[in-house]
C-alpha cells in the first residue's frame, strides 16, 4: 500500500471530477490525502466525509471575472499576489506535512504548492491535468488568435511547476506532441467517474443544457425556441418556463438526464464534454467569453466531427436547428472507447506505486 498526496486546483468542477475518477480506483489499495480549495473542496469534502480518503483545505489562486468574461489582468494580479505572499507559506506547511507523513508519491492537477514541497523534500511527483496540453502539444492547427492565446497560457501552466517524473495529459482530444516531449508525456482520454462508465445511454427525445450564470440570458432565449424539452442545469431550481425545466445540480440527477438526452449544450469544459462523448452524445459547445482554453477545446471538438460550437451571440435558434439536423453525423464520429482515459492513467501511475 502506497501513501499518496494529491493536490488539485479548486476553480470549477473539472479538476475535482477528474480527481474523483482516479481516487475511486486508487483508494482500494492505497492511502490518499487530497489537498484543494474553492469549488473542488466544496464538492469533494462531503463525498469523502467518513471514508478512508482524507481531504485537507489549502489556499489557492482564484479567477476574477469582469461581467461575463474572464478578466485576465485582474486574475494575473491576483496570481502574482498569491505567488508572492501565500505560495511560500503553503510550501512551508506542506513540506512539514510531507516530512511528517512521508508520502510515497505526490500527484498534482495544476496546483503549485504541493509539487514545490515535494521537490524540496525529494519526493517524486506526477503531473496529471488537462491544461498541460498547452505546454506539450503542437497547436499549429489552431487559428492564429487561438494559437497565440495558447502559447501565452502555456507559459502560465509551465510556471505552475516543473520537475515532475511523468506528465499525464487528460483530454477528449490528442493533438500531436511537440518533438521535445515525445516519450516524456502520456496522453490519455478523460478520467471518468465509475458511475459514468456503468451508465447505459439511451434516446429520451430531450436536450440537456449545462450553463453558467455568465452566459445565462443569451443561451436561454435560444433554447426557448426549440421544439424539444431542455433540462437546464447550473442556474439553480426555478419554475419551468416554455420548454425549459430547471434542475438543481447533482451528480446522479445530471448523469441520469445526460444518459437519455439527444445532445448536450454546454460551456466547453474538457471534463463535461468528455463525459458526454463517452455516452455517445454530440456536444454543442458555447465557450465562456474570454476563456481561451474553452475556445481551444471547442475548436478541437468541431475538428473531431463529434459536435460544433458557437459564441453566445452566434447561438441563434437557426444555428441550434442546424446542429440538430446533423446529430446523426456527429454520433457517427464519436468513439467512446477512445474517450475513457482512466485505465491508461492508472497503468502509467502503477510503477510509482509498487
pLDDT tens digit sequence for 75-121: 878 888 988 999 999 999 999 999 999 999 999 999 999 999 999 99
35 phi/psi in degrees, rounded to 5 = -125, 120
Considering the domain architecture, whether residues 182 and 199 belong to the same structural domain is answered as: no
pTM, entire model: 0.92
What is the per-residue pLDDT for 67?
66
Considering the domain architecture, whether residues 174 and 276 belong to the same structural domain is answered as: no
How many angstroms separate the CA atoms of 206 and 257, rounded?
9
Considering the domain architecture, whether residues 301 and 153 belong to the same structural domain is answered as: no
- DSSP assignment letter at 227: S
Number of folded domains in the chain? 2
Considering the domain architecture, whether residues 113 and 179 belong to the same structural domain is answered as: yes
Residue ranges of alpha helices (H) inside 109-250 are 113-120, 133-136, 144-160, 194-197, 216-223
Domain containing residue 216: 195-339
Considering the domain architecture, whether residues 184 and 207 belong to the same structural domain is answered as: no
pLDDT tens digit sequence for 171-213: 999 999 999 898 889 999 999 989 999 999 999 999 999 987 6
CATH number at residue 33: 3.40.50.2000
Considering the domain architecture, whether residues 170 and 210 belong to the same structural domain is answered as: no
Considering the domain architecture, whether residues 67 and 132 belong to the same structural domain is answered as: yes
Considering the domain architecture, whether residues 283 and 323 belong to the same structural domain is answered as: yes
Residue ranges of alpha helices (H) inside 168-243 are 194-197, 216-223
Considering the domain architecture, whether residues 170 and 90 belong to the same structural domain is answered as: yes
Q: Which residues of the chain, if any, have pLDDT below 70?
A: 67-69, 213-218, 251
Residues 6+ apart with CB under 8 A from 182: none
Amino acid at each position: 500500500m502506497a501513501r499518496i498526496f494529491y493536490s488539485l486546483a479548486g476553480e470549477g468542477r473539472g479538476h475535482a471530477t477528474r480527481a474523483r475518477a482516479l481516487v475511486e480506483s486508487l483508494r482500494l489499495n492505497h492511502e490518499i490525502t487530497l489537498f484543494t480549495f474553492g469549488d473542488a473542496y466544496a464538492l469533494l469534502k462531503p463525498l469523502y466525509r467518513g471514508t478512508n480518503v482524507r481531504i485537507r483545505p489549502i489556499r489557492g489562486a482564484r479567477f476574477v471575472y469582469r461581467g461575463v468574461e474572464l478578466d485576465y489582468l485582474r486574475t494575473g494580479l491576483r496570481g502574482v499576489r498569491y505567488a508572492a505572499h501565500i505560495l511560500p507559506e503553503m510550501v512551508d506547511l506542506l513540506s512539514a506535512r510531507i516530512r511528517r507523513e512521508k508520502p510515497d508519491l505526490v500527484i498534482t492537477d495544476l496546483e503549485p504548492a504541493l509539487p514545490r514541497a515535494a521537490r524540496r523534500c525529494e519526493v517524486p511527483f506526477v503531473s496529471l491535468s488537462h491544461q498541460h496540453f498547452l505546454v506539450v502539444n503542437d497547436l499549429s492547427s489552431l487559428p492564429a488568435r487561438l494559437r497565440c492565446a495558447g502559447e501565452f497560457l502555456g507559459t502560465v501552466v509551465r510556471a505552475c511547476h516543473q520537475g515532475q517524473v511523468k506528465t499525464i495529459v487528460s483530454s477528449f482530444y490528442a493533438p500531436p506532441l511537440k518533438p521535445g516531449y515525445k516519450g516524456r508525456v502520456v496522453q490519455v482520454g478523460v478520467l471518468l467517474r465509475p458511475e459514468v462508465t456503468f451508465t447505459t445511454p439511451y434516446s429520451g427525445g430531450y436536450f440537456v443544457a449545462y450553463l453558467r450564470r455568465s452566459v445565462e440570458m443569451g443561451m436561454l432565449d435560444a433554447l426557448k425556441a426549440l421544439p424539444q424539452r431542455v433540462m437546464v442545469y447550473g442556474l439553480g431550481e426555478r419554475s419551468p418556463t416554455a420548454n425549459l425545466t430547471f434542475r438543481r445540480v447533482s451528480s446522479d440527477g445530471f448523469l441520469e438526464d445526460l444518459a437519455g438526452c439527444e445532445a448536450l449544450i454546454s460551456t466547453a469544459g474538457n471534463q463535461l464534454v468528455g463525459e458526454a462523448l463517452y455516452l455517445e452524445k454530440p456536444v454543442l459547445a458555447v465557450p465562456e467569453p474570454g476563456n481561451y482554453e474553452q475556445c481551444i477545446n471547442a475548436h478541437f471538438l468541431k475538428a473531431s466531427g463529434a459536435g460544433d460550437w458557437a459564441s453566445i451571440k452566434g447561438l441563434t435558434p437557426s444555428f441550434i436547428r442546424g446542429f440538430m439536423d446533423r446529430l446523426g453525423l456527429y454520433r457517427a464520429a464519436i468513439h467512446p472507447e477512445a474517450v475513457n482515459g482512466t485505465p491508461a492513467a492508472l497503468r502509467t501511475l502503477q510503477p510509482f506505486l509498487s
